[in-house]
A and B are shown apart, each in its own frame.
Chain A
Amino acid sequence: QIQLQQSGPGLVKPSQTLSLTCTISGDSVSSNTATWNWIRQSPSRGLEWLGRTYYRSKWYTNYAVSVRSRITVNPDTSKNQFSLHLNSVTPEDTAVYYCARDPPQVHSVFDIWGQGTVVTVSS
């Protein structure tokens, strides 16, 4: 059974960096067919895809235009994890953050999700 377990702080100060980790069980971050994604949800912005990492003989990342200058998504093969780092946060980055898998065989959907992390940006 494939599961994603999220970890990281729920409170971040403005201008600092939001950092979350997603630990994969039952699959591999180095999979040649899946991709590993971060998505957030807020009342004002709805569900918003942020970025992804994936391995196809080498590592790739893609990011949403809205956060491209502030975001990094990294794999950690030794721990079978991937992480989100979003710098220079503002209160507008307050949201529930999810990690999610885009599975093999199906194009660009999200079939396995983490439990979600409520992140509040406040001093």
Chain B
Amino acid sequence: EIALTQSPGTLSLSPGERATLSCRASQTINNNYLAWYQQKPGQAPRLLIYGPSTRAIGVPDRFSGSGSGTDFTLTISRLEPEDFAVYYCQDHGDVLFTFGPGTKVEIK
């Protein structure tokens, strides 16, 4: 079973800054099928990116995903106030549906 680690645990940034979030897998992810979700307090996760660079419907283009093999990155080019949230990665290359522990992006 693949394990996912995310870093940093918390990212403190100001609106307008660039955010770079990392997700590392313990083994190569099949077909680079790595997805990213955003979760705000009291809400369900929201799918942002899959496969590893395709934006889901309605996701702004300031969000981008990249990477391959075991190392993946979610980049938010310029943080908007509504982007402060927790972000999770998920292996969608197999049917175990493993999620990472999350990175919290907080306002500095």
Contacts and interface: CB of A to CB of B under 8 A. Distances in A.
A107 B43 CA distance: 23
Given A46-B102, A47-B88, A109 B44 contact: no
B1 to A, nearest CB: 9
Contacts of B15: none
Interface in B40-66: 43-47, 50-51, 56-57
A48 interface: yes
Contacts of B37: 110
A122 to B, nearest CB: 21
Given A107-B33, A109-B35, A109-B50, A49 B97 contact: yes
B67 interface: no
Contact of B97 (A108, A111, A114, A116): A108
Nearest to B56: A111
Nearest to A6: B44
A107 B35 CA distance: 10
Given A46-B101, A108-B33, A109-B35, A116 B96 contact: no
28 contacts: A46-B99, A46-B100, A46-B102, A47-B88, A47-B90, A49-B97, A49-B98, A49-B99, A62-B95, A64-B96, A98-B44, A100-B44, A106-B51, A106-B92, A107-B31, A107-B92, A107-B93, A108-B33, A108-B92, A108-B93, A108-B95, A108-B97, A109-B90, A110-B47, A111-B57, A113-B46, A115-B44, A116-B44
Interface of B: 31, 33, 35, 37, 43-47, 50-51, 56-57, 88, 90, 92-102
Given A47-B90, A110-B45, 19 more contacts: A46-B101, A47-B45, A47-B88, A48-B99, A49-B96, A100-B44, A106-B92, A107-B51, A107-B92, A108-B94, A108-B95, A109-B35, A109-B90, A109-B92, A111-B56, A113-B45, A114-B44, A116-B43, A116-B44
Closest CB pairs A-B (n = 4): A113-B44, A49-B97, A47-B99, A108-B92
